[in-house]
Amino acid sequence: MTEIGRYAEIATIVFAVASLTFLGLLSYHYYLNIYYGTYEHQDPTVIKVIGKQYVWLFQYPNGTTVPDKLVLQAGKPYEILVTSDDVIHALYFVDLGYKLEAIPGYTYHMYIEVNQPGTYPIYCAEFCGPGHYTMKGILIVTPSNSSG
């Protein structure tokens, strides 16, 4: 047992290190893709998002501000600027598997492009007070041909 046990132990450790390294490198590759998303989308439409207890304000390039409703076109790149007015929130698109914290004093960029038209929920994923659970919005993705 001792001899075999030692080899089995070393083999398991090596296997674990190898698989963790592989997973780490793979995920870091994707992470950098997300981080440098701007270079792939040359000319994204910029939408500003402000988190406030307990509402998401979406500011469109034409100057209108809409609470809790984000309308995007399918297949078009967007740059979303996330910030907060009061406490920390987190803008969370469940179906996109993506979230970033909205931190007062900071503005973070999020590059997204949705291909599938439909309606998706938006949640706040950082506890922001007793109304946290009411801080929900919807993401509406319209088909790209409908409005050009």
Partner 1 sequence: MMKVMRKLSEYLKIALTTTSASDIGLMYVALAIVSLIIGSTDASMIRIQLTFNDMSAVTYYNAVSLHGIFMIFFVVMPFSTGLANYLVPRMIGAYDLYWPKINALSFWILVPAVLMSAVSPLFGPINTGWYMYAPLSTDLAVNGGYGVDLIEIALIIAGLSSTFTGVNFLLTILRLRKVKFFKMPLFVWGFFATSILLVIALPPLTGGLVMAFLERNWSLPFFNYQLGGDPVLWQQLFWFFGHPEVYILILPAMGLISEIIPRMAGRPIYGYKAIALSSMAIAFLSAVSVWMHHMFVSVINPVANLITAAMTMAIAIPSGIKVLNWTATLYGGRYRFTGPGIAAIGFVALFLVGGITGVFFPLIPLDYAFNGTYLVVGHFHYMVFAILVGLLGGLMYYFPYFTGKRYDHELGKLSMLLTVVGAFVIATGMTIDGVLGMPRRYAVVPAPMYQPFQNFISVGAVVEGAGLLLMVGTLLWAWVKGPRVVGLDPWEAESIGQPDFHIKPVVLPLSFGKEMDGREPEHRHGTFYPSIMGMLLAVPPIGFLLILHGMMPEGLLSILIFLGFGLAWLYNDYFKLPSMGLPKMGSLPSVKASGASGAVSTPTSIGEGKYDVSLEKGEEIAKSVRTPILFFIIAEIFLFSSFIGGYLYVRNITPSAQLLPSLPVDWYGLPLAMTVILLSSSIPAHFSHHFLMKGKTKLFKALAALTFIMGLTFLSGQLYEFTHIVHFAPQTNVFTAFFYSIVWLHGFHVMMGLTLWGFTLLRTTRIKPFAAATMSTYYWHFVDAIWVIVFTMLYLQLPIYHP
Q: How many chain residues bind partner 1 (CB under 8 A)?
A: 50
Contacts with partner 1 in 69-108 (CB under 8 A)? 86-88, 90, 92, 94-95, 97-101, 103-106, 108
Q: Could you tell me how far CA 37 lies from the centroid of its own chain?
A: 12
In terms of Cα–Cα distance, which of 108, 110, 57 is closest to 83? 108
Q: Is the bond into 35 cis (omega within 30 degrees of 0)?
A: no
Q: What's the closest the beta carbon of residue 125 comes to partner 1, in angstroms?
A: 4
Q: What's the closest the beta carbon of residue 146 comes to partner 1, in angstroms?
A: 27
**How many Cα atoms are found within 13 Å in the side-chain-facing hemisphere of 100?**
20
Cβ distance to partner 1 smaller for residue 57 or 103: 103
Cβ distance to partner 1 smaller for residue 19 or 65: 19
In terms of Cα–Cα distance, which of 67, 54, 58, 65 is closest to 110? 58
Cβ distance to partner 1 smaller for residue 31 or 67: 31
Radius of gyration of the chain from Cα atoms? 21
Cβ distance to partner 1 smaller for residue 85 or 145: 85
Binding-site member from 74, 81, 132, 140 for partner 1 (CB under 8 A): 132
Asked if 1 touches partner 1 (CB under 8 A), the answer is yes
Binding-site member from 18, 35, 46, 116 for partner 1 (CB under 8 A): 35
CB 131 within 8 A of CB 54: yes
